[in-house]
Each structure stands twice: as C-alpha cells, then as structure tokens.
Amino acid sequence: MQHEFVFAGFGGQGVMFAGQLLTYAAMDQGFQVTWIPSYGPEMRGGTANCFVIISDAPIGSPVVRQPKIGVVFNSPSFAKFASTIHSSGLLVYNESLVGHPDGRHDLRLLPVPATELATQLGDLQLTNMILLGATLTAQPILSIEAVKQALDAHLPSHRRSKLAANYEALNIGVQAVSRQAEKV
C-alpha cells in the first residue's frame, strides 16, 4: 500500500503543517513516510506546497508526479495541481476559495467550505485541520484519532494552547464530509 498526497495553497494557510502532521501521524503508526516541502519566494502569501508519501514498504523515491490525493487551499493551487492528480484519485478543495471547478471528471472531487467553517470557529488558521479531517474521512488511510495523537505528541510548545481547537477543526472536517454523504 502506498498513498501519495499533495497539499497546496498560499504560505500562511497551514499547508506545510497539514502535510507534516499527516507525516508524523503515519510515522507514529509505523508506516514509512516522506515529506517534501516547496515554498515560493515569500513565506507568507507566496505559494507553498508539499508532497507526502505514506507506505507500508520502503519508499523508493520521494518524487511524486501524479499524487492520488490532492488537498488544495485556494484557486491558484487548484489551477496548478488539479491536472496532476491521478485519474480515479481524490481532490479535496477549499470551496470557500476555489468556487466551482471544471475539467476533471475522472476523479472524485470533494468540496469543503473550509475557510467559512474556520471563520465560524473564530480562527482562519484552522482551515488546514478542517481539510485534513475531511480528507481522512473521504480516504481513511489513518484514523482521526491517530492524527489527534500526533498533534498531541508533535505540536510545538508555543502552539499548545490551540490543541483543543485543532481537535475541534478535525472533527468539523469529518462532519462536513458526513453531511455531504447524507445528501447523496
């Protein structure tokens, strides 16, 4: 089993943290992992993306050309990465900033109004956890509980005050996907 992800958005949206947290959670569960970040020229407001591979066997190369799962935070990232997602893959996108995409009919599209939901929580920085919770609900590679354990184990001390809010945001991502499934 090997799962390849791309997380993409603007710097400051928590793109790197979402990918890194997924990597820690998988590593803590005994999987082989890679996490490769890529930043634009600016840290905040510039482009940011990372590739994550989770495998139950050694990973031959950290290079990902056609990830099976994409998590995009904004329209420029959707435009850049949607075409790279493997056919029959999953593309989770922040519907609050992407709108109604067109073009790909050979993969599962999962719109999540993540920015809107994070705003309702009172913290835009929780957008990343909402999208991660939604992604792992739609493609349950790891449990949400494993991600929560990784948050507890790896969240830096200067961010510990946001632990409960991150847990709540993960749960809101789960609920967003569950509500969509009920509509179908």
pLDDT, tens only, 69-108:
999 999 999 999 999 999 999 999 999 999 777 767 899 9
Q: Which residue matches tokens 């420029």?
A: 76
pLDDT at 39 over 90: no
Please state the pTM of the whole predicted model: 0.94
Quick one: what percent of the chain has pLDDT higher than 90? 81
Q: Count CA atoms within 13 Å of residue 3 on its CB side.
A: 18
Q: Which of 98, 157, 161, 158 is nearest to 127 (CA)?
A: 98
Q: How confident is the model at residue 166 (pLDDT cuts 50, 70, 90)?
A: very high
Q: Is domain 2-183 classified as CATH 3.40.920.10?
A: yes
Spell out the domain ranges in the chain: 2-183
